[in-house]
Structure 1
Amino acid sequence: MRHQLHRLPGISVSVFYLCLAGSALLAAERVWKDASGQNEVRAELVSHKGGNVLLRRADGIVITVPLGSLSKEDQEFVVGAPPPGEVDVLVGELEEIVLQIPKPMFISAPVVDLGLPNMEKFDASKRIKSFMALKGTVNVARGKKVTASDAAPIIGTLDLVTDDDADGADGSFVELAPGKQWLQIDLEAAHTLQKIVVWHYHRQVRAYLDVVIQVSNDPQFKEGVTTLWNSDHDDTSGFGKGKDPTYVETNHGRIIEGKGAKARYVRLWSNGNTSDDMNHYCEVEVFAVPVK
């Protein structure tokens, strides 16, 4: 799969990431409204200081908003938020990375009730086809070695996960044993992560359970572990109660924020899905730049 890179000419943008040495990670994405209630933006809280609030949109751009211009509810949220961690500023030219989306495997919109308490309401607008990232960002997972808790997959081989093919057809995915399982990618060197894009099996309407995505420089994941995504709402897997939603799989996959984490290894957990107890992956792409 090829990814088209488009650089916005003449534009240099400051991109803010939370430094991992700080005491807190980015807050969960939410909808922010201004005092009039007529304007809104979906973004994550990066930091707040001196009457200004830094919000990061889904495309990675950080905007500065005066605290007093926000709605009363949002102002109360900011004031009650934990003290922000140290902010590391990376300044550089941005380019657009356009994902090559595989063909859809089902036609009808997956508006179904799968009976999960943390199920995300289906929203076609979240099918992001591209995002902005620092110039030089590439899929550093392409062709990299993949290991797993299930060393002998039931269907497929582990190298399918990083073969640059996110198709959901037969022969394009790997099936791991039932129950709690992990899959790990060795990027061969530490990178500053921008986005991670994950395609589980998307040939039929289903959601994968207790999805946890972690990164570290320790291949055993015993030290220096950063959790980027956790949809395990009741701590079944033992990583703490997650606040991220469970979602219906589609051919668009899911874009996970890298949060500027610096790591060599990416580990993805799941615990079966709403159709059966098996764990499946079509493709995992890790967009990053070398650590400077």
Structure 2
Amino acid sequence: MKKSTTLLTILCFWLVQLGYGQEDSLQLEALYQQYADSINQSFQFQHGEVSLQGDLALLKVPKGYKYLDAEQSKYVMADLWGNPPSECLGMLFPEETYPLSDHFTYAIEITYSEDGYIEDEDAQELDYDELMEEMKSQSVAINEARIEQGYGAIELVGWASSPFYDSKNKKLHWAKELKFESDSANTLNYNIRILGRKGYLNLNVIGEMDVLPMVKQDIDPVLASVDFKEGYRYSEFNPDIDQVAAYGVGGLIAGKVLSKVGFLAVLAKFWKFIAIAAVGLISALRKKIAGIFSGN
């Protein structure tokens, strides 16, 4: 699914519903572009060093990327892309990418989960093929819940990139390939987890499957760009006072991600954000569009 094609299809569809023709659809597309440009230009991106959630972690924005702060990122995720509200700590965008740009490639949402210290002794013994089968099995029940709530089913196709755990730096990453019921192009779900004393940082890549080579090319600098600050580091765990998570690395990849973070929110971020944006735009500009087309 190419964004420009999808946008034009959506705009034409809505104009047909409103009784307008092809010429009107081009006018509306131009209006959308003006709207998108004004939104994109309103963001204030940052470079260099950024503190995440005060003293929690330090992000050194990697070369070729720009950072959008927590408040602006929540606006993107919820208002522009139609996701449920979340405690987003910020987002990373490739330098030439904007939330509503035609050449959107991918973005990386940053969140934090304080679920306790994750013991990693199981990491070296995991059978990732077996883990994938377990995840596929769990996805059946999750799809039933999605359908009941009016969402389409999601097929977990398999690993787009097998899990890799850096035991020295306590950083874990993997990617899943997903197929949404109503989408012709498969979706990439690339997950990065950075383990800490009280929980983990989650960097979730939002994009389609064709961006996987770009993400893999940049994965090392992205992994190196963020670390917990003193007081929150994995090595500072104190068993006398700190909580231990009820799952290990395997549970973080499979059961934890599926059951709590879930397909209902995290995996459904990207595939229809442009549809949501276009529908919202039409709603906001309905009177203006009607006035233009009537000559008023």
Bin for the TM-score computed over the shorter chain: under 0.3
The answer to which structure has the higher helix fraction is: 2
The answer to which structure has the higher strand fraction is: 1
Q: TM-score when scaled to structure 1? A: 0.28
Greater C-alpha radius of gyration: 2
